[in-house]
């Protein structure tokens, strides 16, 4: 019954967004360690934020858009978060993606409420508004990419540039 999430077949959207889609917002950004052929930053992450757990649940959700600026597909193969016991990429239903997700050349992956997230499990620390959470995205080609996401409690507006 599940309708397949279109996943990363969204390369066209990047073309539609043009370069403005790649403008870095006020969110802290970082890039991969390996420089891609077409950009100093092969992977660019924008609009990241984290929804803290609602007690007694210990699950937090992180949202962001990640752009692959290179001319080659890259695979987001792992996510890690120090604040929890585990971090899992959910893009299709609640099922984890065991092999990660391929982001097409010049494509992007957008995780927004109802359309995927990184779930951080086992968050025991209390996350307060304005605090920052660090997660690491591990790419097959670009290597590790650090993302800093501000804590935005439920009901607070999402940061500008956040995926919707």
Partner 1 sequence: MKRLVLLLLTALLALTACTGSDGKRSKPQPSELQGNPGTGKYMGSGLIPPQPRPSFTLTDTSGQPFAFGSQTSGHPTFLYFGYTNCPDECPASLADIATATRLVSPAIAAQTYVVFVTTDLKHDTGSVIKTWLHNFHFGRGVTVVGLRGTQAQIDAAQAASHIPLAEDGGETHSTSSLLYGRDDYARVLFLRSNDEDKAMTHDLKIIGSAE
Q: For residues 2-31, which are near partner 1 according to CB under 8 A? A: 2-7
**Of residues 123 and 137, the one with the C-beta less far from partner 1:** 123
Q: For residues 100-119, which are near partner 1 according to CB under 8 A? A: 113-117, 119
From the list 71, 78, 80, 9, the residue with the least C-alpha distance to 35 is 71
Helix H or strand E segment including 15: helix 11-17
Q: Which residue from 18, 20, 37, 55 is in contact with partner 1, where contact means CB under 8 A?
A: 55
Q: Under a CB-based contact definition with an 8 Å cutoff, are residues 136 and 145 in contact?
A: yes
Q: Which residue from 94, 98, 124, 157 is in contact with partner 1, where contact means CB under 8 A?
A: 94
Please report how close the Cβ of residue 51 comes to partner 1 at its closest, in angstroms: 7
**Of residues 30 and 112, the one with the C-beta less far from partner 1:** 112
Interface with partner 1 includes 85 (CB under 8 A)?
Answer: no
Please report how close the Cβ of residue 122 comes to partner 1 at its closest, in angstroms: 11
Integer Cα distance of 105 and 52 in angstroms: 32
Give the CA dihedral 7, 10, 13, 18, nearest 10 degrees: 110
Integer Cα distance of 139 and 145 in angstroms: 8
Integer Cα distance of 46 and 65 in angstroms: 5
Q: Which residues bind partner 1 (CB under 8 A)?
A: 1-7, 51, 53-57, 59-61, 90-95, 113-117, 119, 154-155, 164
């Amino acid at each position: 019954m599940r309708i397949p999430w279109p996943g990363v077949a969204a390369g066209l959207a990047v073309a539609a967004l043009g370069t403005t889609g790649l403008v870095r917002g006020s969110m802290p950004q970082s890039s991969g360690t390996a420089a891609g052929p077409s950009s100093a930053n092969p992977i660019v992450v924008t609009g990241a934020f984290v929804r803290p757990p609602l007690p007694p649940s210990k699950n937090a959700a992180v949202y962001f858009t990640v752009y692959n600026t290179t001319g080659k597909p890259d695979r987001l193969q792992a996510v890690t978060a120090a604040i929890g016991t585990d971090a899992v990429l959910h893009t299709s239903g609640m099922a984890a993606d065991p092999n990660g997700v391929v982001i097409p050349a010049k494509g992007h992956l957008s995780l927004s409420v109802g359309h995927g997230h990184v779930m951080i499990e086992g968050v025991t620390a209390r996350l307060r508004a304005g605090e920052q959470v660090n997660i690491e995205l591990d790419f097959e080609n670009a290597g590790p990419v650090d993302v800093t996401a501000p804590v935005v409690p439920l009901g607070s507006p999402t940061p500008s540039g956040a995926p919707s």
